[in-house]
Every structure is written in C-alpha cells, then in structure tokens.
Chains A and B, each alone.
Chain A
Amino acid sequence: MIQIDHVHKQYGNKKAVSDVSLTVPTGKIFGFLGPNGAGKSTTIKMVTGILPVDSGTISVNGKDITSDTIAAKQEFGYVPDSPDLFLRLKGLDYLHFLSDIYGIAADVREARIEEYSKMFSIYEALGDQIKTYSHGMRQKLFITGMLVQQPSVWILDEPMTGLDPKSSYQLKELMRNHAANGHTVFFSSHVLEVVEQLCDEVAIIRKGELLFQGTLTEMRERFQSDDSLEHIFLELTQDA
C-alpha cells in the first residue's frame, strides 16, 4: 500500500503539487492520470524518493520514504518514464546489478532473468550495452529488472510508452496477476483506454491538485455521466 498525506512540492514560486492526499490500496491496480505538467511525475518521484517532499508524508507498506528511506525503497520496484539509465552497462550486467542490490539469490535470479527477458523478447540482446537499445527495448529491460526483483509494490511511470502490442499485452496481464495476488500496482498513463481496461481505481491530478480519487463507477456516478473516461477526463482537466 502507498499512503500519501497532505504532500506539497514547490519549484521556486511554482506549486508543482499542492496538498495531495492519496491512498493506493493493496490488491488493486491504481491509475494516476493528468495532463502534461499536472504533477504526476513529481508525485511519483516523491513517492520513490527521487525528489524530497516539502511537507506532508509518504509511506510505502507503512515505511516512511523520508525517515525510513532504505526500508521503504526495498518495498517497491520502479520503472522510470525515461529509461535512459546505466547506458554503458550490458543488459545482463544491469539485471545482475539490480539483483545484487535487492539480494536476489543466484538460482532465483537466473530463472527470472531468463523467463522475463524471453517473455519481452530482449534475451538475445542481453550481451549488448543498453546504449544500443531502442527506447522500447530499454523500457522492456527496466520492466524485466522490476520483475526479477519481484517487489510487492510496483510503481510505473508511463510504462506502455514505446512497447510493442505484444509486450504491452503481457505487461497488462502481469499487472492484473500482481494485483490479484494481493499486491499493489501504481502507474501513470496518458493512454486512457489502457486505464479504462486495467484500473480498479484512478486518481486525476491537474495543476498539482487532486481532482478525483475512486473507482471508474464512482467517477461516473459523481459526474453523472455515461461518457467514456476520455470525455470525463477532458472535461475535468480542461482549463476553467
């Protein structure tokens, strides 16, 4: 579970996130929506410890990201929105590096690396430097890294970007299974069809403020609309 309580973040004079409170429950797939520059990535970066919180608290499975940082980071796996990291490592080196950091046993990691890298069709490229991978392949490698780690909380920032249809389908299935097994999936996306297909709950953020949190049914009830998520989203996020 991810608990965000009254979180603020400001860059200079600009409020990036303002008094956001959010609960991402276990056993659910939680979609985080908002237009560009709404504060999605800033919120995710605060949850993952990349950005410090100005005020408020964030905890992952009860562990505070500010005061109990390392324990909180052990609880989640993160796929960043731009997977341009460790470019000079080979794909396999990166997966071993990650496995060492999360303390994954040798036989377990071997089986998982083989299974997931073959699932996402990057096995044959594991001997190459990440620098040579396409955007989609990098994305798949970082998803594989998270799957090798198998944490209880998955945090994914725009995970479908650059994925081919097959990989996108497989990721969605894995997300469903993970949530069905009583774990947490928290992801941001611009692809509203994916959110509509996958999510048990959604939150919508605009200009740093949370506009809504709940199930899609609750959203339709609240806005008294039978429209698609796309229509409700466009109405909610349009400038007043």
Chain B
Amino acid sequence: MHKPIRSLIRIQLKMQYANIFQKPSVVIGLVFGIIGLLFLGMMFGGYMLQIIDVMYGLLEPSGNTNVILGSLFLMNFFLIFILSLMLIMNTFYFTEDITSFLHLPVHSYQLLIAKSLNPLIYVYLLTAAMYLPVSIYYGILSGADLMYYVYVLLLFFLIPTIPYALAAAVVMFAMQFVNKGKNKDRSKVIGGIIGFVLIILLNVVLRLQQDPEQIAQVIADSAEKGGLLQMATLYYPPASLMSHILTSAGSWQSLLYFVIVLLLALFAGLIFFAAAQKFYLKGALGLNTGSGKVYSGKGLHRKPRSIISTYRTKELQTIFRTPTFFLQCVAGAFVMPALLVVIFFMGDFASATTMIKEISGSMLFVVILFANVFSVGLNPISIVSFSKDGQSWEAHLFLPLTMRQIVIAKLQAAFLINLLPLSVLFVIAVPVIQMNLWEALLWVIIALFVNAAVTVIGMVSDLLYPKLGWTEETELFQNRLANLISIVISAGAFAFLLALLLILKIPMVVSFIVTLLYISAMIVLLFYIVSRLLKTADRTSLSR
C-alpha cells in the first residue's frame, strides 16, 4: 500500500479510536450496543431464514433455488448502495476534520481510501448481518460442499466493493453541482432529512410486507416465470454471476465467474479512483457555512430583552442553526411520532380508533401517559443542555449571568423544543381517539407535566455525565452515558407511576390528580438535584 495512504489511515485510527476503550461510558455503550445488535440480528435473522426456508421448499421442485441467492445479492447491492450514499456524504464532505487534510500533498484517491475506513466498517457489518446467515443457511439446506463456503467467504469481501465504489462516484459527481451554493449546513440538513424519510419508508415497506410466507410466495412466483433472475441480471449483472458461483461451486465455470466478478470489483475500484481524482476537490473545496450576503442593516434596532429571554433565544438559535442539533432534536421530533404510528397502526386510524374505544377510562389514561412519556423521552434536547455549549461554556463564567438564569433559560428552550413531538403526537391522537374537549384538555395538561419532568431529567443526566470537550456535535449523541442515564431515570420514574395506576385501576379523574402530584414532587426533587450537581461540579468542565 502507498505510504501516504498508510499514514493517513494511521492518523484516522489514532484520532477516532485511540484510548476509546479507556472511557467507561464507551465500554458500557458498546456492551449495550452489542446486546441490542444481537437482539436485532436474531429477530431479523430469524425472519429472513423463515423466508428462505419457505422459498427453498417452493423453488426446489423446479430447480430454481438459485433465485434465492440472486435476490440476496440484489438486495445487498441496494442496501449497501443506499447506506454508502449517506456514509460517504458525511465522511467525505461534512466532517469538520476534512479541511485539515485538503492542503496535504496527497492525491484525492489516497485521502478518500483512508477516509473510507470508517464507512467500510459499517458497510461490512451490514454485509455480515445480511449476507452471511442467509448464504450459510442456503448451503445447509442444499447440502453444499466445502468449496461453497470458501466462495461464500471470498464473496463476502467482494460484495460491498461494487456498490460502495459506485455510491462514492455518484456522490462525488453530484456534490460538484449540489454545492454550487457551497453551503455545508444546508446540505447536511437536507441529507439528514432524506435519511429520515428513507428510514420511515423502509418501515412502511416492512409493515406492508410482514408475512414471510407471502413474501416468499411473491418471489417464488416471479422466479417461476424467470422474471426475478432476469431482473437481477438486467439491473445488476454481478448478482446472477455471484449466485452462479455459489450454485456451481467447485466447477471451472464458477472459477471463471469468480474471476469476472473480481475484475468487475477492480473496475469499480477504477471508477472510484477516477471519480476521486476528477470530481472530489471540485465539491469539497470551499464548503462553508457562510451566506455570502452583505449585511443590509436589518435587525440592527431591536427591543431589549430580559436576560432569560435573550439566553433562551440564543439557545433556540444555536439548536436551529446547528445541523446535528436540528436533525436530532427538531426534525427527529417529527420522525419519532411518525414511526410510532407506522409501527403500531400503519396509518390505519379506523382500527386504531376501535382499539382505543375498547379501552376503559383508567387504562386510556395510562395509554395517554405512556404515549407522552415515550414521545418526549426520545428527544435528546435536554440531555445536551449544558454539553452543547462546548467551549462556549467559558463565556458563561465571565459574563454576569447567574446559574439560576442559565438553568431556567436552558429548561425553557428544551421545554419548547419538546413541545414539537408532543404536538405531533396530539395531532395524530385527535382523529385516532376522537377525544372530547375534556379528554383533550386532560391530554394537554398531562403532556405539559410530563414534558417538564423529562426535560429536567435530561438536564440531570447531562450534569451527571457532561461532555464539554467535543470537536464535533455528533459526539454528543454517540456513546454517552448521559443518554442511558436519562432513559433509565425516565423509565424508572414513570414505570413506577404507570404500574401504580395499572394496579389501582382508579377512575380517570383520580388517576389524573395522582399523576399531577407525583410529577410535581418529582420535578421539585429533580430541581434540588440540579442545584446540588451545579454546586459540587468543577465550574470550568462541569465534571466532578
């Protein structure tokens, strides 16, 4: 490997992964992440293998089982291509550190090969999760020999190269034109929103096609007519080549196909190289966050505001103007309730209404409470109350601001942002539950109390594990113990209340009063904890 690429990879590794395992929060995050992945993998893997099982049974009589592998390679191609588009855009163009490499005397392709390290880790993880279980299970079902598994392993390394290189070329070509305005922030937000839309669409597709037998039947029917493999060959020829390699493993023909796939992967590498050399710098150079407009004097005259009001405005401006905060806390606020609807009701309001109407008064109250806690609890705004200031925190120490003013203004800003998911949920709930005025009022009051409590819980978590020394805002949302603590406290505090209400089965009005008293007491206690944490913290780093 070229020396510059080696050096660039080494520096990337040092910057991103050095000492990472010395932080307890990372280790705990990793353990939870692995458990979560295993859980998801088992769920998804089980689902996939169920489909394969049925499909194999359907296709075996006609000898068309290779369609299973063809569709697997085709699906892998599309998923890796979509994931790569998002990862490449972020890694090649939007990370803050990219400008520190642009002046170095290295070729674009050398820099981008080194920068590909991180996205390729994710791409290979996805490939391992999607491809390995299915291909191994297919081998077991077809009683394949050793050569089959050798090819499975060799293809594992080749599968991501073509979609990754093509996605990189597409992004590099497009970014030349997309960034005519050179506005990095706007492009970041648009990219993020497209990502959210894709997640929702993927969920909708999954919900529409949830019966494995039905899916298997559709694919099998298509295969019987010779349509699916034809389609795979037409749109992505390597898919059928790869399926032939595996189905005729051990023959000379499969070796020939393997060499062709290898050449195609090399050709994809060449496309990556050419795109990097020709297009990359045109898109990457000059990316900035400036408007390029000359200030016209607008807004020079402004009425003075109180300290809390001006601080709250500053908080909201920071959240709305920072792409990461905007995507996580504002745009994300709309995604979560939308996902909730897709997951639970798939937009079928009529059956949801029938379901809700069958619930008794006290149970309905529990549902309202749960929906609000879930909706607001997922928004990370208050978990970054202090941490989002980063190095600007120093200004709070020399400006004549009291800690009380700062806390109140930060809570108000987080409370206002948290009203977004609550409002979306409320708008969805009105036609579903067909609430009367009294029920709507009850919903609103509960939502406001839950919002206040969860907002202060987030602030407590942030103060317990603050992170002011970040270089990129995304670090605040990855591997942070504060996120976990907030979920644990919220879940614990509200699970107790929910359990109490479920056990007591008291009338709705009594439940309402009990809830308000419980949450009020909780807020008072949380405020006390906030003041204690601020008193005992080192004021420059907020840590203890």
- Nearest CB in chain A to that of B291: its residue: A128
Tell whether, in the assembled complex, residue A129 and residue B318 are in contact, meaning their CB atoms are under 8 Å apart: no
Contacting residues, chain A, for B402 (C-beta < 8 A)? 70
Given A50-B398, A96-B302, A106-B302, also A88-B296 (CB < 8 A):
no
Per-position binary interface string of chain B over residues 279-305, scored 1 when its CB falls under 8 Å from any chain A CB and 0 otherwise = 000000000111101111011111111
* A127, closest chain B residue (CB): B295
Chain B residues within 8 Å of A91, by CB: 295
Write out the residue numbers on chain B whose beta carbons fall within 8 Å of the beta carbon of A74.
400
Please, which residues of chain B bring their CB within 8 A of the CB of A93?
314, 317
We find that the number of chain A residues with CB closer than 8 angstroms to chain B is 47
Q: Are B318 and A110 in contact (CB under 8 A)?
A: no
**CA–CA, A100 and B306, complex, Å:** 7
Q: A87 near B304 (CB under 8 angstroms)?
A: no
* Residues of chain B with a CB closer than 8 A to A70's CB: 400-402
B107 close to chain A: CB less than 8 A: no
A104-B296 in contact (CB<8A) = no
Q: Is the CB of B300 within 8 A of A113?
A: yes
- Cβ-defined contact, B296 with A127, below 8 A: yes
Interface centre among A80, A88, A124 (most CB of B within 10 A): A88
Residues of B383-424 at the interface with A, using a CB-CB cut-off of 8 Å, are: 391-392, 394-395, 397-402
> How far is the CB of B542 from the nearest CB of chain A, in Å?
13
Q: A101-B400, A127-B296 are in contact. List 9 more A-B contacts (CB 8 A).
A: A74-B400, A98-B399, A101-B311, A101-B401, A102-B400, A103-B304, A104-B304, A109-B304, A132-B288
Q: Mark each residue of chain A from 98 to 136: 1 if its CB lies under 8 Å from any CB of chain B, else 0.
A: 111111111101100110000000011111110110000
B299 contacts A100, CB within 8 Å?
Answer: no
In the bound assembly, the distance between CA atoms of A93 and B429 in angstroms comes to 38
B307 is an interface residue with CB less than 8 A from chain A: yes
Asked if B400 contacts A85 (CB within 8 A), the reply is no
Is B540 positioned at the interface, with any CB of A under 8 Å from its CB? yes
Contact pick for B314, options A97, A104, A126, CB 8 Å: A97
Chain B residues contacting A128 (CB-CB under 8 Å) are 290-291, 293, 295
A residues within 8 A CB of B395? 80, 85-86
Residue B180 is within 8 A (CB to CB) of chain A in the complex = no
Closest CB in chain B relative to A215 CB, distance in Å? 29
Asked whether B95 is an interface residue with its Cβ less than 8 Å from the other chain, the reply is no
Contact A86 B289 (CB under 8 A): no
Q: Measured between alpha carbons, how far is A92 from B289 in the docked complex, in Å?
A: 16
* Selected A-B contacts with CB under 8 Å, 7 pairs: A49-B398, A89-B321, A92-B300, A98-B399, A100-B309, A110-B301, A110-B302
A48 at the interface (CB under 8 A from B): yes
Q: Are B306 and A51 in contact (CB under 8 A)?
A: no
What 8 A-B pairs have minimum CB-CB distances, sorted nearest first?
A100-B310, A132-B290, A73-B400, A127-B295, A48-B398, A50-B397, A126-B295, A85-B392
CB within 8 A of B392: which of A51, A69, A87, A114?
A87
B391: which of A78, A85, A92 is its contact (CB, 8 Å)?
A85
B434 interfacial by beta-carbon distance below 8 Å: no
Q: How far is the CA of A101 from the CA of B290 in the complex (A)?
A: 26
Q: CA–CA, A126 to B294, complex, Å?
A: 8
Which A111-168 residues have a C-beta within 8 angstroms of B? 113-114, 123-129, 131-132
B6 at the interface (CB under 8 A from A): no
Interface centre among B305, B307, B398, B402 (most CB of A within 10 A): B398
Chain B residues, Cβ within 8 Å of A113: 300
Q: How far is the CA of A69 from the CA of B397 in the complex (A)?
A: 10
B539 at the A/B interface (Cβ < 8 Å)?
yes
With contacts A85-B394, A129-B289 known, is A124 near B310, CB below 8 A?
no
B239 to chain A: closest CB distance in Å? 45
Give 1 or 0 for each of B124-158: 1 = CB within 8 Å of chain A CB: 00000000000000000000000000000000000
Cβ-defined contact, B400 with A89, below 8 A: no
- Tell me the bound Cα distance from A85 to B309 in angstroms: 20
The reply to whether A106 and B303 form a contact with Cβ atoms under 8 Å apart is yes
- B322 within 8 Å of A (CB atoms): yes
A123 touches B295 (CB 8 A): yes
- Determine if A84 is an interface residue (Cβ-Cβ < 8 Å): yes
Asked if A52 is at the interface of the complex by the 8 Å CB criterion, the answer is yes
Which residue in chain A gives the minimum CB-CB distance to B302?
A96
Find chain A residues with CB under 8 A from B322 CB.
88
Q: Which residues of A contact B294 (CB under 8 A)?
A: 124, 127
- Chain B residue at minimum C-beta to C-beta distance from A125: B295
CB pair A89 B314 closer than 8 Å: yes
Contact of B398 among A73, A89, A131 (CB under 8 A): A73
